[in-house]
A and B are shown apart, each in its own frame.
Chain A
Amino acid sequence: MFDFLIDPVQLANVLGTALRLSIPLIFAAMGGLLCERSGVFNIALEGQILFGAFGAAVGAFYFGSAYGGLVIAIAFGAASGLLLAVLGITLRVNQIVVGIAIILFATGFTSFMSRLLFPGGGNSLKLDGFSNIDIPLLSDIPILGPVLFSQNGLVYVAIFSVFAVHFVLFRTRVGMSIRAVGESPAAADAAGIHVFALRYACVIIGSSLAALGGAYLVLTQVLLFSDNISAGKGFIALAAIVLGRWQPSIAFMACLLFGLFDAVQLRMQFDQPDIPYQVFAALPYLVAILALVGLMGQANPPSSVGRPYDREMR
Chain B
Amino acid sequence: MTAAPARLTLEGIVKRFGTFRANDNVSLKIAKGSIHAILGENGAGKSTLMNVIYGLYEQDGGRILSNGKEVRITDPREAMALGIGMVHQHFKQVNTMSVVENVVLGLPGRQILNLDEDRRRIKELADELGSEIDPDQPMWTLPIGTQQRVEILKMLYRDADLLILDEPTSVLTPTEIKAFFVLLEKLRESGRTILLITHKLDEVMDLADRVTVMRLGRVEAELEIANTTPRELARVMVGRDVVFDIQHAPPKVGDPVLELDEITAVDDRGIGALHGLSLTVRGGEILGIVGIDGNGQGELAEAIAGLRSISQGRIAICGQDASGFDPSERKSVLKMGYVPEDRQKVGLDLDSDIAFNMVLRSFRAPPFSKYGWIDFKKIRAHAVDLAERYDIRMQSVSQRVRDLSGGNQQKIILAREIEDNPKLLVVAQPTKGLDVGAIEFVQRTLLAQRDQGTGVLYISSELEELLLVADRLAVIFKGRIIGDMPASEATSEKLGLLMTGRELA
- Which A residues form the contact surface with B (CB < 8 A)? 171-177, 179-180, 183-184, 186-193, 303, 311-312, 314
Contacts and interface: CB of A to CB of B under 8 A. Distances in A.
Report, nearest first, the 6 A-B pairs whose CB atoms are least far apart: A191-B106, A190-B92, A187-B92, A192-B77, A192-B106, A191-B105
B105 A177 contact: yes
Interface string B49-93: 000001011000000000000000001110010000010100111
Band of interface residues on B: 20 to 34
A149 to B, nearest CB: 29
A174 B94 CA distance: 15
Contacts of A189: 56, 76, 92
Given A183-B95, A190-B76, A191-B76, A172 B112 contact: yes
A184 B93 CA distance: 7
Contacts, number: 74
Given A171-B113, A184-B92, A192 B76 contact: yes
B110 interface: yes
B194 to A, nearest CB: 18
B96 interface: yes
A296 to B, nearest CB: 14
A177 B106 contact: yes
A183 B95 CA distance: 8
A183 B105 contact: no
B299 interface: no
Interface string B97-124: 1000110111101111100000000000
Nearest to A184: B94
B93 A187 contact: yes
Contacts of B111: 172-174
A289 B111 CA distance: 39
Given A171-B113, A172-B111, A173-B109, A192 B101 contact: no
Contacts of B95: 183-184
Given A189-B76, A190-B86, A190-B92, A312 B57 contact: yes
Interface of B: 17, 54, 56-57, 75-77, 80, 86, 88, 91-97, 101-102, 104-107, 109-113, 154
B57 A192 contact: no
Given A187-B92, A192-B106, A314-B17, A173 B77 contact: no
A177 B57 CA distance: 22
Contacts of B106: 177, 180, 188, 191-193
A188 B105 contact: yes
A309 B112 CA distance: 27
A186 B97 contact: no
Given A176-B101, A314-B17, A191 B92 contact: yes
Given A173-B112, A176-B105, 10 more contacts: A171-B113, A173-B110, A187-B92, A189-B56, A189-B92, A190-B76, A192-B76, A192-B80, A312-B56, A314-B17
A176 B114 CA distance: 12
A172 B86 CA distance: 26
13 contacts: A171-B113, A176-B97, A176-B113, A177-B105, A179-B97, A183-B94, A184-B95, A187-B91, A190-B56, A190-B88, A190-B92, A311-B56, A312-B56
Most-contacted residue by chain B among A173, A177, A183, A303 (CB, 10 A): A173
A127 to B, nearest CB: 38
B474 to A, nearest CB: 34
Contact of A180 (B17, B75, B105, B113): B105
A255 B102 CA distance: 32
